Structure 1
Amino acid sequence: MDLSQSEWKSKLDSDPNAVILDVRTEEEWNEGIIPNAILNDIYKGQGFLYRLDELDKAKNYYVYCKAGGRSAQACAIMNQMGFENTYNLEGGFSNWKGDVAFREEN
């Protein structure tokens, strides 16, 4: 399901069963993330599918990429795999106005 930026954030903020899934590349991930997101790069192909298979299908997944295209594709794949609740962030991280976290450099 596609949600506007405000709908996505509002639903996420009130969802105790939420998981935030970032389907961008690691290079994009290093530019900043939505706090508490987990990375699963959709460009990894079979690796992407394997990682999806390890996730709890009973959770609600809030999925984003840079502009909304890859995350829409990821939601469609997840729905085919039996995930019931996937929410695509329309406009993606490029239009995100909420909090941003940066990875700790070791």
Structure 2
Amino acid sequence: MKCATSASMDLLLARFLQCGTWAACALIGAGLFFDTKALSAGVALFILLPVLRVVVMLAVFAQQRNYLYVTIAATVLAVIAAGCVIGLRLAPLAG
């Protein structure tokens, strides 16, 4: 039963990343022809896709009540958030 759950999560993540990649590509393509805001949104989506993947994994693990992996995914998100906060705080020092 564990393999079926793992396979379904792999399929969910694969579809999520595939759709996200296509959406980001479409935004970048639209940005090349119409608007730099769309281009920026596409690049931002490419940057956010790995973070969103961890969020999806956290939700799936929580639904499965797999608390060890919920804790690991939450820790990864906390490290990412801490890195963003530190980066924003140190940005003025970089010039």
Q: Same fold (TM over 0.5)?
A: no
TM-score by length of 1: 0.22
More contact order relative to length (CA 8 Å, sep ≥ 6): 1
Query: Would you tell me which structure has more helix in proportion to its own residues?
Result: 2
Query: Would you tell me which structure has more strand in proportion to its own residues?
Result: 1
TM-score by length of 2: 0.24
